[in-house]
Chains A and B, each alone.
Chain A
Amino acid sequence: MKKRKKNLWILSVITVIFILFIWWLVTDKLGIFSSNTLPSPVKIVKTFIKKLSDPNPDGATLIGHLLSSLKIVLSGYLLGVVIGVPLGIVMAWYEKADLMVRPVFDMIRTVPGIAWVPVMVVFFGIGFTSKAIVIFIGAVVANVINAYSGIKQTKQVHLWVGGTFGASNWQLLTRIALPSAFPMIINGLRISLGGAWTTIVAAELLASNKGVGYMIQQARGILRPDIIIVGMVVIGAVGTLLMWPLGIIERKFMKGGKW
């Protein structure tokens, strides 16, 4: 059994090498695809290294673009979390608020973040504010909905037991409902962070003068697919890295083991 596992691992490596080899073959070696459509893997690695320190052709280095995007994402996102999570908890804890606010949130949720970009651009121009607000809207909605559903899933029996033993409303919330809701809340943090990162890329494709989305959009205009692909890979990698602290928080604070 162990032997078989090892063989499969080798199979994965071979596949990756094989794909890279074919890719290199049809681009650099045989020239079936010109470097204006599909650049070779070698070229992409070279572009990546060069772009780290070279602000050409779009006015900023890869690091500069990344920092610009991250700044917007984190500002909008953190504000969205700080407001969204407590709001979701309050909505779920007080029944009446819930029935009224929930449908409105359900309605807003179906609008993808990107669709707000034109509205905000008309209001605030293409700078920092308009994009941060678009990110904020997306983050608030996702966090409210998840915190809300988390609290709602608290087992009624647990609350009854707590009540029987004389827990106050506040104790019921902090000792029973919040720990029960924790996995859902973390899930909301994760979903909204992913959404925020996607949205910033989209917003920068449309209206921006800096950022990773802007970089790949500019590269399309001047037929530089190597920069586009570098940008895409970096966007994917940073998106994954952003999730990392959330995993740590989840492992550290989640009580009661597995769900």
Chain B
Amino acid sequence: MTTKTPAQEQRDKIVYGVLAVFIFLVFWYAVTKLTGFGEIFPDPVTVLANVCDKFVNPIGKVTLVGHILVSLRRVLLAFGVAAVSGIVLGVTMGWYPAVEAIFKPVIEFLRPIPPIAWIPISILWYGFTEMSKYFLIFLASFFVVTISVYSGVRSVDPMLIRASKMLGAKDNQLFTTIIIPSTVPYIFSGLQVALGNSWASIVAAEMVQSNSGVGWIIITGQQSSNMVQIVTGIVCIAVVGMSLVMVMRGLESKLCAWNRQGR
């Protein structure tokens, strides 16, 4: 195998990536044009045209951008609250055995329930308000972040803790110089998973019950048998989902540049 420089590898990846997506689109187009599949499924050009069209013309009450923003606001607000409280609880659970003993059984009991299974009860409790969505997204993120941060704190090398104690570090020094830095990768992996969960959950929640958002776009598409609108919705979900992942990864590589070597 010939060795390539990282820059070359990066370039290859981009070139092949673009090429692959292009071939995929051509394949999609060909299948819809050449086979009977086209009668029930739109070709990519129609979908793309529809996406552009809906940027200015509204679906329902607002434009495509409006729907995306509605969904994003729901996710980011609740995710933010869940991230902060999850990190705090995870760290305290990892550090104080008493806190761990109190919260662990409750979390272990609730954690296996998929966030989507909370949808009916969230509607029953909060009606069709924004609150029911926030509640759901909070649950979708909170447990994941908490458990991830908790296991991060638990897996800090005890040798480091003992060494710094021996050298006279105070509790708060121990905390800021050892515990937090070694937990950061776990915090990020928790946040990453939680954000993905949240995005999938909001789509599901909007499909079950709402009057705006990306999930709503595809479900109304289904109700009116409008396949173009369904696929438009799916494309938006994919693009926004991918952007969220990329933003998260970007943040991580900025904040944990020191950790990359070890991977």
The chain A residues found within 8 Å of chain B, CB to CB, are 4, 8-9, 11-12, 15-16, 19, 37, 99-104, 106-108, 110-119, 121-123, 156, 194, 197-198, 201-202, 205-206, 213, 216-217, 219-220, 223, 225, 228-229, 231-233, 235-237, 239-240
A101–B27 CA distance with the chains assembled, in angstroms:
13
The answer to whether A100 and B101 touch (CB under 8 A), given A110-B238, A123-B40, A205-B120, is no
> Are A112 and B222 closer than 8 Å at their CB atoms?
no
A232 lies within 8 A of B222 (CB): no
Chain B residues closer than 8 Å to A122, beta-carbon distance: 40, 222, 225, 227, 230
In Å, the complex CA distance between A103 and B115 comes to 28
B16, B21, B120, B231 — most chain A CB neighbours (10 Å): B120
Interface residues of B in 205-263 (CB under 8 A from A): 207-208, 215, 218-219, 221-222, 225, 227, 230-231, 233-234, 237-238, 241-242, 245
> Chain B: which residue is nearest A224 at the CB level?
B124
A79 to chain B, nearest CB (A): 21
Q: How far is the CB of B259 from chain A (nearest CB, A)?
A: 17
Apart from the given pairs A15-B103, A103-B16, A202-B204, 16 other A-B contacts in the complex at a CB distance below 8 Å: A12-B105, A15-B105, A16-B106, A19-B106, A102-B20, A104-B20, A110-B241, A111-B234, A112-B237, A115-B218, A122-B225, A122-B227, A198-B114, A198-B116, A205-B119, A236-B111
B113 touches A15 (CB 8 A): no
Complex: A8 Cα to B103 Cα, angstroms: 11
A212 closest partner in B (C-beta): B117
Assembled-state Cα–Cα distance A229/B208 (Å):
18
Q: In the complex, what distance in Å separates the CA atom of A190 from the CA atom of B106? A: 23
| Given contact pairs A100-B16, A119-B227, A122-B222, A233 touches B113 in the complex (Cβ within 8 A) | yes
- The answer to whether B124 and A100 touch across the interface, beta carbons within 8 angstroms, is no
Distance A198 CA – B117 CA, assembled complex (angstroms)? 8
CB-CB nearest 4 A-B residue pairs: A112-B200, A118-B222, A236-B112, A236-B113
Q: When the two chains form their complex, are residues A99 and B105 in contact, meaning their CB atoms are under 8 A apart? A: no
Is B21 a contact partner of A236 (Cβ separation < 8 A)?
no
Residues of B contacting A99 with CB < 8 Å?
A: 12-13, 16, 20
Q: How far is the CA of A118 from the CA of B223 in the complex (A)?
A: 9
Whether a CB of chain A sits under 8 angstroms from the CB of B162 is no
- By the criterion CB–CB under 8 Å, are A220 and B123 in contact? yes
B102 in the interface (beta carbon within 8 A): yes
Show 5 A/B contacts (Cβ-Cβ < 8 Å), sorted by A: A99-B12, A112-B241, A114-B203, A202-B204, A206-B219
Which of A110, A113, A117, A123 is the one whose CB lies under 8 Å from B245? A110
Q: Which residues of B contact A19 (CB under 8 A)?
A: 106
Taking a contact as CB atoms under 8 Å apart, the answer to whether A114 and B19 are in contact is no
Q: Which residue of B lies closest to A99 (CB)?
A: B16
- Whether B242 pairs with A236 at a CB distance below 8 angstroms is no
Cβ contact within 8 Å between A104 and B21: yes
In Å, the complex CA distance between A228 and B21 comes to 43
- Answer yes or no: B118 CB below 8 A from chain A CBs: yes
How long is the Cα–Cα vector from A239 to B110 in the complex, in angstroms? 12
Whether B199 sits at the interface, judged by CB under 8 Å, is: yes
B115 to chain A, nearest CB (A): 8
Contacts of B219 in A (CB 8 A): 118, 206
Contact B102 A235 (CB under 8 A): no
B interface residue count range (under 10 / 10 to 19 / 20 to 34 / 35 or more) = 35 or more
Q: In this complex, what residue of A is CB-closest to B120?
A: A220
On chain B, the residues within 8 Å of A231 by CB distance are 117
Verify if B104 is at the interface (C-beta below 8 Å from A). yes
A119–B230 CB distance below 8 A: yes
* Contact of B19 with A232 in the complex, beta carbons under 8 Å: no
Bound-state Cα–Cα, A21 to B230, Å: 47
Chain A contacts of B208 at CB under 8 A? 205-206, 217
CB-based nearest A residue for B123: A220
B23 within 8 A of A: yes
**A202 to B116 Cα, complex, angstroms:** 6
Q: For residue A101, which residues in chain B have a CB less than 8 angstroms away from its CB? A: 20
**From A8, A100, A202, A232, contact of B97 by CB (8 A):** A8
Asked if residues A103 and B124 are in contact (CB atoms below 8 Å), the reply is no
Name which residue of chain A comes closest to B1, CB basis: A156
The reply to whether A115 and B113 contact each other, CB–CB distance below 8 Å, is no
B24 at the interface (CB under 8 A from A): yes
Let me know if A103 and B221 touch, CB within 8 A: no
Cα–Cα, bound, A52→B119 (Å)? 23
The answer on a CB contact under 8 Å between B124 and A228 is yes
- The complex places the Cα of A9 from the Cα of B233 at a distance, in Å, of 49
Instruction: Tell me if A115 and B234 are in contact (CB < 8 A).
Output: yes
Instruction: Say whether A223 contacts B120, CB under 8 Å.
Output: no
Measured between beta carbons, the chain A residues less than 8 angstroms from B199 are 112
